[in-house]
Amino acid sequence: MSDKIYDVPAQWAERAYLDEHGYKAKYEASVRDPDGFWGEEGKRIDWFTPYTKVKNTSYAPGAVSIKWFEDGVTNIAHNCIDRHLATRGDQVAIIWEGDDPSQSRHITYRELHDEVCRFANVLRNRSVQKGDRVTIYMPMIPEAAFAMLACARLGAVHSVVFGGFSPDSLASRIRDCDSKMIITADEGLRGGRKVPLKANVDAAIAKLGDFEVDHVVVVKRTGGTVNMKPGRDVWYHEAADLVTSECPAVPVNAEDPLFILYTSGSTGSPKGVLHTTGGYLVYASMTHQYVFDYHEGDIYWCTADVGWVTGHSYIVYGPLANGATTLMFEGVPNYPTNSRFWEVIDKHKVSIFYTAPTAIRALMQSGDGPVTKTSRASLRLLGSVGEPINPEAWEWYYRVVGEERCPVVDTWWQTETGGILITPLPGATRLKPGSATTPFFGIVPQIVDAEGKVLEGPCEGNLVIADSWPGQMRTVYGDHERFMQTYFSTYPNKYFTGDGCRRDADGYYWITGRVDDVINVSGHRMGTAEVESALVAHPKVSEAAVVGYPHDIKGQGIYAYVTLMAGIEPTEELRKELVGWVRQEIGPIASPDLIQFAPGLPKTRSGKIMRRILRKIAEDEFANLGDTSTLADPGVVDDLISHRQNKK
Ligand code: WTA
């Protein structure tokens, strides 16, 4: 751990919304009187019918219920678009930067209004109504944001599925939320390579069997050849030509659902995290403003994909609610060259830049040159999200990219939390490289030990949040039991994050990573159980156990122990076949980095796999295996150690 501290630069102390005292006073007010605090803050968005109630939440065992602003009526698209028209109709809302550096688009708020209304009319003409689920499987093009906002305009619930997921993963997500409408593109384009999105949709639908998808709306991106099924599939540009650019925003209740986003947990299939309308938008808007110190005139760029929660809250909803100019990037950090991020910053005069540690580490490997050849004079703030950032990468980001004038906000949060929970506020928080620092307004983090005892002062344990905040998920779609079981049963009356955490003597929080069977590969969340079930679905595999191990660039890599069916030879070819198989079953982000063929796995006498041991072996910590006396066959361990796969 690094014990360096960076003071707030003088110019920041002057321009930021709050200084250190301001933060402390506001924080205390927020946790002392949540009703009063959020009652005021809720006014940052327009309400068709104002709320009279603010917080109505309970973490009580078996009766978890979360409601914010529950009698208010509003519409998210109205708040992200219409209410800005009078004052900033001609301001750019979205800058789109294509994969190919010669392509970009600027979309003003007025144009955004017209595009979203048209999109909404196309959906409405295909009988999409309030409450209906719509699956969006799109590349990073403005139409992805139009589609999300069009759903919000109609009160329909979007489920965005990351374009890197396989047809299988897409199919299970379509089925889980019973979505009859899919929005996609012919092909995506990333780093010069095409991604066959429409073909994947066709394959997904073929896997759905009896489940009928009524409509597939296809946006033309590359012009590549695709199959269009008459009656079901329609080109977006053709349908959009037939409708008007007026579509009223449907009034929805604060607690009506806005979106479902599937995310990995420690067990079972991905969960449909459900977020609702009013509290989510208030929280996304407020965090975007304070954490990124957003002011009029800023050009804001978050490099995430809209397929993840970061794209939802901090490319689309937070920035647009604040009337910001948000940049959407179709490409990847190293195409055409390793200077791409910095060139885009110069091209569009980006002032706020938000990316992931894995990208920083990868770019760091090619040295300072690709950075320093660009100007980056427009930058004033840097952000990090998705996984713990190692102090070395933090320092490089701060020193080389930000030239020591841009604070780095290391923002800790989750799909479930809707927005940022632990983060520095520029101007108010002294920075420690590697620490997400202190809680945002209204957030009460606690560290508990294995028994649930709340620890005080400097300590290390599991991170829980003691009370609700407006951006919190409301349920697992269609399975409230699972919601309560997953997040509220380990430590009764508290939200369990699944993360380990240390708190230092200054009260700063240091996230140490997941304590459950979730791994974080290049900032992508994976359940080890999902990769295991993909592996055992292969006819030659009898058993599989998957763990994470430290990886220089990805943060964590995927290490799979595989036991083959009797009589099957472990070959290099089979190893490749299994990697390809997992890619096909889940998607490229789940590809195992290392596969070890293991004749046996370490099990207790009752047959439970001892993952602790597998983790230690994958981490190269043989000396530290702990108690192995409960193993049914301790000899298995020696064999595993002697055949450990080397790190890449
Ligand atoms: C991890 C992404 C350390 C953490 C927004 C969390 C982080 C999981 C940070 C959620 C950070 C995210 N420092 N760890 N700044 N940000 N994480 O749902 O383990 O894709 O539980 O949400 O990422 O991942 P998710």
In this predicted structure, the answer to whether residue 505 has a pLDDT above a threshold of 90 is yes
Model confidence at 635, pLDDT cuts 50, 70, 90, reads confident
Spatial separation of the C-alpha atoms in residues 645 and 4, rounded to whole Å: 36
In this predicted structure, the answer to whether residue 623 has a pLDDT above a threshold of 80 is no
Using alpha carbons only, how large is the chain's radius of gyration in Å? 24
For atom 25 of ligand 1, which residue has the closest CA? 414
In this predicted structure, the answer to whether residue 327 has a pLDDT above a threshold of 60 is yes
In this predicted structure, the answer to whether residue 473 has a pLDDT above a threshold of 90 is yes
Q: Report the residue among 412, 415, 465, 502 best suited for mutation to probe ligand 1: largest number of ligand atoms under 8 A from its CB.
A: 412
Tell me: the pLDDT tens digits for 242-284?
999 999 999 999 999 999 999 998 877 899 999 999 999 999 9
Q: Is 541 annotated as a binding residue?
A: yes
Look at residue 265 in the predicted model and tell me its pLDDT.
83
Model confidence at 510, pLDDT cuts 50, 70, 90, reads very high
**Closest among 187, 209, 270, 222 to 589, alpha carbons compared:** 270
Tell me: the pLDDT tens digits for 230-249?
999 999 999 999 999 999 99
Those residues with Cβ within 8 angstroms of residue 639's Cβ, 6 or more apart along the chain or in another chain: 598, 599, 600
Q: Is 372 annotated as a binding residue?
A: no
Question: Is the complex ipTM higher than 0.90?
Answer: yes
Q: Report the residue among 273, 389, 408, 414 best suited for mutation to probe ligand 1: largest number of ligand atoms under 8 A from its CB.
A: 414
Report whether 633 contacts 607 (CB < 8 A): no
Spatial separation of the C-alpha atoms in residues 280 and 258, rounded to whole Å: 9
**Closest among 441, 470, 448, 439 to 57, alpha carbons compared:** 470
Q: Could you identify the residue written with the tokens 């990219």? A: 401
Look at residue 620 in the predicted model and tell me its pLDDT.
85
Tell me: the pLDDT tens digits for 575-619?
999 999 999 999 999 999 999 999 999 988 888 888 889 999 999
Instruction: Read off the DSSP letter of residue 646.
Output: P
In this predicted structure, the answer to whether residue 2 has a pLDDT above a threshold of 60 is no
Look at residue 622 in the predicted model and tell me its pLDDT.
78
Q: Is 149 in the pocket of ligand 1 (CB under 6 A)?
A: no
Q: What is the mean pLDDT of residues 520-541?
A: 94
Q: Is 387 annotated as a binding residue?
A: yes
Residue 86 CB: number of other CB atoms within 10 A? 8
Q: Is 387 in the pocket of ligand 1 (CB under 6 A)?
A: yes
Q: Is 499 in the pocket of ligand 1 (CB under 6 A)?
A: yes
Residue 648 CB: number of other CB atoms within 10 A? 10
For atom 15 of ligand 1, which residue has the closest CA? 412
Model confidence at 25, pLDDT cuts 50, 70, 90, reads very high
Burial pattern 58-84, b for ≥16 Cβ within 10 A else e, equals: ebeeeebebbbbbbbbbbbbbbbbbbb
Q: What are the distances in angstroms from CA 439 to CA 20, 34, 400, 477?
A: 13, 15, 27, 28
Ligand 1 mean position, distance from CA 412 (Å) = 6
Tell me: the pLDDT tens digits for 172-227?
999 999 999 999 999 999 999 999 999 999 999 999 999 999 999 999 999 999 99
Q: Could you identify the residue written with the tokens 């965090």? A: 287
Look at residue 647 in the predicted model and tell me its pLDDT.
63
What percent of the chain is helix, strand and coil (3-state, nearest 5)?
A: 35, 25, 40
Amino acid at 608: K
Those residues with Cβ within 8 angstroms of residue 367's Cβ, 6 or more apart along the chain or in another chain: none
Look at residue 365 in the predicted model and tell me its pLDDT.
94
Tell me: the pLDDT tens digits for 425-440?
999 999 999 999 999 9
DSSP SS3 for 531? helix
Nearest-5° Cα angle at 439, 394 to 466: 135
Q: What are the distances in angstroms from CA 606 to CA 258, 309, 434, 489, 564?
A: 45, 39, 41, 25, 21
For atom 24 of ligand 1, which residue has the closest CA? 414
Give the chain's mean pLDDT. 96
Higher-pLDDT residue of 506 and 608 is 506
Q: Report the residue among 358, 499, 508, 524 best suited for mutation to probe ligand 1: largest number of ligand atoms under 8 A from its CB.
A: 499
Spatial separation of the C-alpha atoms in residues 407 and 290, rounded to whole Å: 13
Model confidence at 638, pLDDT cuts 50, 70, 90, reads confident
Look at residue 609 in the predicted model and tell me its pLDDT.
87
Q: Is 326 annotated as a binding residue?
A: no
Spatial separation of the C-alpha atoms in residues 142 and 35, rounded to whole Å: 37
DSSP SS3 for 40? helix
Model confidence at 416, pLDDT cuts 50, 70, 90, reads very high
Ligand 1 mean position, distance from CA 299 (Å) = 25
Q: Is 309 in the pocket of ligand 1 (CB under 6 A)?
A: yes
Q: Is 414 in the pocket of ligand 1 (CB under 6 A)?
A: yes
Burial-class residue 336 by CB neighbours within 10 Å (0-12, 13-18, 19+). middle
E strand segments, 356-444: 381-385, 408-411
DSSP letter string, 312-335: IIIIIIHHHHTT-EEEEE-S-TTS
Sign for the pseudo-dihedral over CA of 148, 151, 156, 162: negative
**Orientation of helix 34-41 relative to helix 20-32, angle to 10°:** 110
Amino acid at 109: Y
Whole-model pTM: value is: 0.96
DSSP letter string, 440-481: PTT--EEEE-TT-PEE-SSEEEEEEE-S--TTS--EETT-HH
Helix (H) or strand (E) holding 168: helix 167-176
E strand segments, 75-162: 92-97, 104-108, 133-137, 157-160
Tell me: the pLDDT tens digits for 149-174?
999 999 999 999 999 999 999 999 99
Spatial separation of the C-alpha atoms in residues 381 and 591, rounded to whole Å: 34
Whether omega for the bond prior to residue 336 falls within 30 degrees of 0, making it cis, is: yes
Percent of the chain with pLDDT over 90: 90
E strand segments, 340-494: 352-355, 381-385, 408-411, 445-448, 454-455, 459-465, 475-476
Percent of the chain with pLDDT over 70: 99
Helix (H) or strand (E) holding 564: strand 555-564
